[in-house]
Amino acid sequence: MAFGWHVAGMAPAAGALPRPVQAVAWWLAVTAMAAAAVAGAALWSERRGIEALRAGGEHRIALYVSSLEGAIQRHDYLPVVLSMNEDVRRLLRDPGDAALRDRVNRYFATVTQEAQSATLYVMDASGLTLAASNWDTPQSFVGSNYAFRPYFRQAMTSGRGRFYAVGVTTGTPGLFLSHAVSDGGRTVGVLAVKVSLDALEEAWRNGPERVLVADGAGVAFLSSEPAWRFRTLDDPSAAELRRMSLSRQYAGVTLEPLAVTGRGDRHGAPVLAIRDPDGPGTTEYLMQSVALPGPDWRVVILSDPAPVTAAARTAAAVAAFAVVFLLLVVLYLRQRRRRILEGMAARDALETANVELRRAHEELEVRIAARTADLVAANARLTREVAERERAERVLREAQDELVQAGKLAMLGQMAAGITHELNQPLAAIRTYADNAVVLFDRGLHDDLRTNLVRIPHLVERMARITGQLKAFARKTKARAEPVPVGRAVHNALLLIEQRLAPEGVELICVPADPGIAVVFEEVRLEQVLINLFRNALDAMKGQPVRRLSIAVEVRGERVRIRVRDTGPGIPDDVLPRIFEPFFTTKDAAGLGLGLSISAGIVRDAGGQLTVDGGPGGAEFAVDLPRAGAGEASSVRGTA
Ligand code: ADP
């Protein structure tokens, strides 16, 4: 089939009913089919049951008829045989013969006993009973006249009679069979036997259905249900009623109709609803009847169709179960189909996702390869650049070293004038002391002379120190870093600018530092940095109303900070970022623009930092250096 196992087939076609409506329609159809199946099964079962009941009824009704006929035939011969009895004929000829009558009575009694029939008796042509088998009982028929009975008249006219009636003498019902007694070609009397059918009724009572035998007037004179005896099945006609009353057929009995509450039809079979004889309810019966061939009697059987109804219910239940089972199977198959479809859809989706994934993976790999190639190229470029930088840095460092040297030389030039002045002072003093020494020697003032001479080496020493500074400053090679007492370095640096303070009216505020405070540095270089900072401060304060140079040394944990503050104009924001650049200067021809750049490099080399605060109120430079250990400091103190 084209439809079914395709996911696309699941989608509702354009113009089809919406899903919920489809579901409702499906369930309605299923419910209708289920109801039809259940009803059909119930009907089919009922029809089958009714048919079976009818077939069984027909069979059984034939049995009832034959049992009834058997009971009649068993006694039918008696009046025939006894009508031929010579004593009977003689009695009819001579009714006054008492001995004969007695003999006949006794003979009848014996026969009755043998044949187990109810009562045998003989009547003369007027209907008067001459002899009877019950001659010696209180209900004796002898002397009674039964000329009004139909069986008597039938026998008198047609030779034989048959009649069912309630006995007028005994009051008990029975079947009267009669036969004419002929003598010399003439009917002289009638011989009759009354047979009781109680045993038959009794036997029928055990059967599965109710059995009734009704006469031509519709009176049920035999019934397996005692309460229904002498009930009328149909309404007897007025003529019938007159006939019955004349023959005193059911004398002493009130004829009432059978309590039929409804008549109907089930699958072509007539159905009667009869009120139960021993309760308030009614029972439905399937009615079947058959007419007897001889008299106008009919045998009626009433079968209870309850088992058929029960069987129909069972069939309906079975059908319902079958429908439910079928429904479950259908639902299971639908579910299974849906699951298979879902599985297929999921597999398709998975496959699609897999393909996508594979494609994405391939794309990723291509991209990674491209990116890797880029990275390799970039790496190579970087490596090249790093090499380039390193080379540039090396060149720069060499250039810087050169610059440092050049800066130093330049500074040396600048300092030369100051130093000359610096040296001139002690030289002049030494000369004065020397001149004085000669005078004092001449005068013989030995004590004064001595004092004078002792001063000279001091001055020489000072000069030597100044020249020593210069030597160290001009040196290119790096000296070994050692603990330098900060106070001494500041003092030595101040010595070189001292001569500018007084002429320029600069106030110096310098708290001498604790000689124990030392930093790891090359002493000359630290002095060079400080001289540079002092000089810049003095330059900045030129022409300023307040000229104050403040120097302070602070210990901050493992670091030492030397702060150099001035009261100059400070450093403008646009200048500040550039002051550490080599050759940046605002001093026209006077400045080289190397001082701060070299100083920052020196401090950085020593593991320190040179920072600036541009103002306002003047600039403050700070040299931050690692502090020398306690042991080193003590050794420093010893040499200070
Ligand atoms: P130079 O002193 O030869 O100009 P420096 O590198 O020592 O070179 O200084 C660079 C510049 O920094 C100076 O030209 C000046 O503009 C500025 N500068 C340095 N110190 C101070 C200061 N204490 N106050 C104001 N400006 C300063």
Q: Whose CA is nearest to atom 11 of ligand 1?
A: 585
Question: Which CATH topology does 481-639 take?
Answer: Heat Shock Protein 90 (3.30.565)
Residue nearest to atom 16 of ligand 1 (CA): 586
8 Å CB contact between 37 and 322: yes
Least confident span in 16-20, 149-153, 285-289, 564-568:
16-20
Residue 627 DSSP symbol: B
Question: In this structure, which topology does domain 83-196 adopt according to CATH?
Answer: Beta-Lactamase (3.30.450)
Same fold, 83-196 and 481-639: no
pLDDT tens per residue, range 419-431: 666 677 778 888 8
pTM over 0.85: no
Pocket test for ligand 1, best of 409, 573, 596 (most atoms within 8 A of CB): 596
Mutational pocket test of ligand 1: of 403, 579, 610, the residue with most ligand atoms within 8 Å of the beta carbon: 579
Neighbours of 371 (CB within 10 A): 12
**C-alpha of residue 536 to centroid of ligand 1, in Å:** 5
Determine the Cα–Cα distance for residues 168 and 498; give it in Å rounded to an integer: 183
Please report the atom of ligand 1 found closest to the CA of residue 541: 24
Q: How far does the centroid of ligand 1 lie from the alpha carbon of residue 41, in Å?
A: 120
Sheet containing 187-195, strands listed edge to edge, beginning at the edge strand earlier in sequence: 129-132, 119-124, 187-195, 173-182, 160-166
Chain centre to alpha carbon of residue 47 = 50
- Nearest alpha carbon, ligand 1 atom 21: 536
d(C-alpha 640, C-alpha 634), whole Å: 10
pLDDT digits (tens, 9 = 90+) for 12-47: 444 567 788 888 888 898 888 889 988 998 899 989
DSSP code of 222?
E
pLDDT tens-place string over residues 312-329: 899 889 988 888 898 899
Given a contact cutoff of 8 angstroms between Cβ atoms, the answer to whether 535 and 463 are in contact is: no
What ranges do the domains of the chain cover? 83-196, 481-639
How far does the centroid of ligand 1 lie from the alpha carbon of residue 610, in Å?
14
The pLDDT of residue 180 is: 94
pLDDT in tens, 241-300: 887 877 778 877 778 888 888 888 888 888 988 888 888 888 889 999 898 876 688 899
Ligand 1 geometric centre to CA of 560 (Å)? 23
Contacts of 619 (CB under 8 A, 6+ apart): 537, 540, 565, 566, 568, 570, 571, 612, 613
**Closest atom, ligand 1, to C-alpha of 537:** 23
Say which amino acid occupies 433.
Y
* CA-based max dimension of the chain: 240
Average of per-residue pLDDT across 573-577: 90
pLDDT value of residue 152: 94
Residue nearest (by alpha carbon) to ligand 1 atom 23: 537
Q: Which residues line ligand 1 (CB under 6 A)?
A: 532, 536-537, 540, 566, 568, 571, 579, 584-587, 591-597, 619
If one counts every other C-beta atom within 10 angstroms of the C-beta of residue 382, the result is 12
Residue to probe by mutation, ligand 1, list 404, 536, 549, most atoms within 8 Å of CB: 536
Token pair 């001494």 in the structure block, residue:
488
Contact call for residues 301 and 60 (beta carbons, < 8 A): yes
Contacts (Cβ under 8 Å, ≥6 apart) of 623: 526, 529, 530, 533, 561, 562, 564, 603, 608, 609, 610
Tokens 């200048």 appear where?
Answer: 575
